[in-house]
């Protein structure tokens, strides 16, 4: 073991600078991502087809659950209820929020990319549960649809994205601490003769 302050306490302002740089990178990435997604060519070529795919997968799940639904583009329709999946309801915004946070976080690129993929998949699974459950609420409890859509599920999806990032970041921070501890131990170990 080494005497003296550890690398985590050697520079008191270092943690504040890292936090500030994380925040700057996060905001810049978020603005860039939203600008790209908001552009008409990207929206028309990527986001609308992606949203249509969400509608088709949701329709398959709803049909398995006994609802007789059809899909037209981003609209899911039955004889009793119809819903159109719009931007903001496709999980893309939450995925962008999560992606900007992961990319801004100081972790090895391989682990960031793995975090992006796993987080995106998790967010989309949560969003599929959202779409299916909202359709079922619309069919069986239409008076609750508005509240479920705008307050409950919108909050849940964003919160899940934030929680996924916090879990991923905590895991990465622990991995970094273990790596630093190993490096410090290796530096303090006697050299073989």
Residue boundaries of the structural domains of the chain? 14-188
Q: pTM for the complete prediction?
A: 0.84
148-177: average pLDDT? 93
Burial 31-64 (b: 16+ CB within 10 A, else e): eebeeebeeeeebeeebeebbbebbeebbeebee
Q: How far apart are CA 127 and CA 188, in angstroms?
A: 49
At 117-155, the pLDDT tens digits run 999 999 999 999 999 999 999 999 999 999 999 999 999
Smallest CA-to-CA distance from 51 within 143, 131, 140, 168 is with 131
């Amino acid at each position: 073991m080494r005497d003296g302050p550890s690398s985590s306490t050697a520079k008191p302002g270092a943690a504040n600078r890292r936090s500030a740089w994380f925040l700057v990178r996060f905001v810049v990435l978020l603005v860039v991502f939203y600008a790209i997604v908001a552009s008409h060519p990207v929206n028309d070529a990527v986001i609308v087809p992606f949203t249509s795919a969400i509608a088709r997968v949701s329709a398959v799940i709803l049909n398995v659950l006994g609802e007789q639904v059809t899909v037209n583009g981003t609209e899911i329709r039955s004889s009793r209820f119809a819903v159109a999946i719009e931007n903001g309801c496709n999980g893309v915004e939450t995925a962008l929020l999560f992606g900007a946070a992961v990319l801004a976080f100081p972790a090895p690129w391989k682990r960031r990319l793995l975090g992006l993929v796993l987080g995106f998949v998790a967010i989309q699974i949560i969003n599929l549960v959202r779409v299916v459950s909202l359709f079922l609420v619309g069919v069986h409890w239409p008076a609750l649809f508005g509240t479920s859509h705008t307050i409950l599920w919108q909050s849940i999806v964003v919160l899940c994205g934030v929680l996924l990032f916090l879990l991923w970041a905590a895991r990465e921070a622990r991995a970094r601490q273990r790596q630093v501890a190993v490096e410090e131990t290796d530096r303090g170990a006697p050299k073989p003769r």
